[in-house]
Amino acid sequence: MTRILLRNGQIHTRPALDEPVRAMAVEGGRIVWTGNDPDDFASPDELVDLEGRLVTPAFVDSHVHVVETGEQILGLDVGSAPSREVVLDMVAAHVRDLGHDDLVLAQGWDETHWPDPSLPTAAELDRASGGRKVYLNRIDGHSAVVSSALMARVPGIAGLPGWTAQGRVEREALRALLPLLADLTPAGHAEHGARAALQAMAALGIGAFHDNSGPDIGPESDLIATQAQAAEAGLHGTYYWGAHLGFDDLERLSEVSGLAGDLSADGSMGSRSAALTFDYADLAGHRGHAYLNPEEMAEHIIGCTRRGLQAGFHCIGDQAIDNIAQAFRLAEATLGAASIRSGRHRLEHCELPSPAATETFAHLGVTASMQPMFDGLWGGPDRMYAARLGERWQQMNPFRTLLDAGVRLAFGSDSPVTPLDPWAAVHAAVHHHTPGQGITAAEAFAAHTVGGWYAAGIDDAGTLTVGQRATYAVWDRTTFPDLTTPDVADVTTACLQTVVDGRTVFEKEGVW
């Protein structure tokens, strides 16, 4: 085995941001030595002079949709559009080079920052696209606007909950469209998308990811494509299939850690489909939608625990999270607390937990997989959370409260919902919009590194210490970023090299 010695660097051995060491040795994909005097490590086969550069554990993105992220990179991203008119103009420009039968996939619109929040209609999409099949996905993925030609391909969609004549769809109507989208995409589409997303992650110092797939996200072939591309690229993937009681699915799918991820207990705040115990501030009489009841979720938790699988749910509103907490208590009554804790079950987003739910999750060892950029983009008194919730926006994404209660945190992007930008996410967790809910730089960095490994059930990665996996990133700077600075531009840093289990998966040209 090749013995590699990295020297003359600033190597942060732990996410706690303690005093770095200057040298590290790697052999067989593991860290075999760290120290300050390179002469203490005898007979290396290869020497790497870091020239003072910073080395940290590679980031883990604990919630990402790989194929969809690639679609955003390669396709039509309307996230920057400042109005519905610009969205329609972008669609019109995009279709000029497309055939009339080509499917138009566009992602990322967010009407909450438009001067006029009125959505494009199916009729307007028809005109902009020249009558093509158009799927215009909202930034949160829980609602979309579709053209008449696409709706016409789904018989009976007009009778499904969540359908509107103006072309906006959510819930059952949205789910009915997903198989059609898979049928209309060309061969190799998923592979191209997965490859683009994985390359982007590696170039940002992300060495591991948790792909949140499921029947309400995309076809099984997307998951299979992601697994194949990750094996080729060398990134470490943890895979979740969000199907309720989907144990038979696992006979066809390999390397799946759990029936978790985006198994939705409710929807999203942006689409007003997150399940609340109170009315939305901007839609009186409406409290969102709970998709699973406590008994259904308890059956799922019990079945997963007995099979050695992780269970988990997408949950955002307090009603959905309370339902999940009740489900875990029901499962505990059947299996016992120790059995539930051993499963390292997880929740995605967990944005508005009640104190009672938080206590239940801490007691049963449930990890909260969260996205700091949700608060970064939508927190504050004049942004989307405040529009939807009024003063209750301050209860969203309570990182400090969860940590203090003993709930483990794992951070990710939910890309393509928010960008792949781990330094910005860590910064956002420190600079929470709600006073008192920000966490320390060390805690935030740990949640985006070792926390992601823990959430995947892996305990030999996430720190640069002897015996751990040699999964690290080299950065174009000589000191750890000052995460207390209010300007995120001072934090975000170019990645020069990403290494996973001793294998280089990204290297900037001309670095060494």
Q: Which of 199, 211, 207, 203 is nearest to 503 (CA)?
A: 207
**C-alpha Rg value of the chain to the nearest Å:** 23
Each residue's pLDDT tens digit, 184-223 = 888 899 999 999 999 999 999 999 999 999 998 999 999 9
Task: Give the position of tokens 């939305």.
Answer: 280
Quote the CA–CA distance of 57 and 55 in Å, as a whole number.
7
Does position 183 have pLDDT exceeding 90, yes or no?
A: no
Classify residue 479 by burial, with Cβ atoms within 10 Å: 0-12, 13-18, 19+: exposed
Element (H, E) at 326: helix 318-335
Each residue's pLDDT tens digit, 116-170 = 999 999 999 999 999 999 999 998 888 899 999 999 998 999 989 999 999 999 9
Q: How many residues are listed for the chain in this entry?
A: 512
CATH architecture of 75-184: Roll (3.10)
CB of 211 closer than 8 Å to CB of 239: yes
Each residue's pLDDT tens digit, 366-402 = 999 999 999 999 999 999 999 999 999 999 999 999 9
Percent of the chain with pLDDT over 90: 87
Do the bridges between strand 503-507 and strand 143-146 make them parallel or antiparallel, or are there none, so unpaired? Answer: unpaired
Residue 65 — very low, low, confident or very high, per pLDDT cuts 50/70/90? very high
CATH classification code of 252-455: 3.20.20.140
CB atoms within 10 A of CB 437: 20
Q: Give me the mean pLDDT over the 395-421 stretch.
A: 97
The order of strands in the sheet holding 143-146 is 76-77, 103-109, 133-138, 143-146, 168-170
Classify residue 419 by burial, with Cβ atoms within 10 Å: 0-12, 13-18, 19+: middle
Report pLDDT for 185: 86
Residue 419 or residue 140, greater confidence: 419
Average pLDDT, the chain: 95
CB atoms within 10 A of CB 144: 24
Q: Dihedral of CA 181/183/187/188: which sign? A: positive
Model pTM score: 0.94
Each residue's pLDDT tens digit, 26-39 = 999 999 999 999 88
CB of 348 closer than 8 Å to CB of 361: no
Structure tokens at 221: 């072939």
Per-residue burial over 38-49, b if 16 or more Cβ lie within 10 Å, else e, is beebeebeeebe
Do the bridges between strand 143-146 and strand 495-500 make them parallel or antiparallel, or are there none, so unpaired? Answer: unpaired
Per-residue burial over 353-379, b if 16 or more Cβ lie within 10 Å, else e, is beeebbebbbbbbbbbbbbbbbbbbbb
Quote the CA–CA distance of 76 and 132 in Å, as a whole number.
15
Decide if domain 3-58+466-507 falls under CATH 3.40.30.10: no
Q: Give me the mean pLDDT over the 86-105 stretch.
A: 92
Structure tokens at 331: 């499962």
Quote the CA–CA distance of 101 and 183 in Å, as a whole number.
13
Q: Give me the mean pLDDT over the 446-468 stretch.
A: 97
Structure tokens at 242: 């969000």
**Could you state, in order of their start, the residue ranges of all structural domains in the chain?**
3-58+466-507, 75-184, 252-455
Structure tokens at 228: 């194949």
CA distances from 53 to 39, 59, 277, 360, 476 (A): 19, 17, 50, 43, 6
Structure tokens at 352: 């508005």
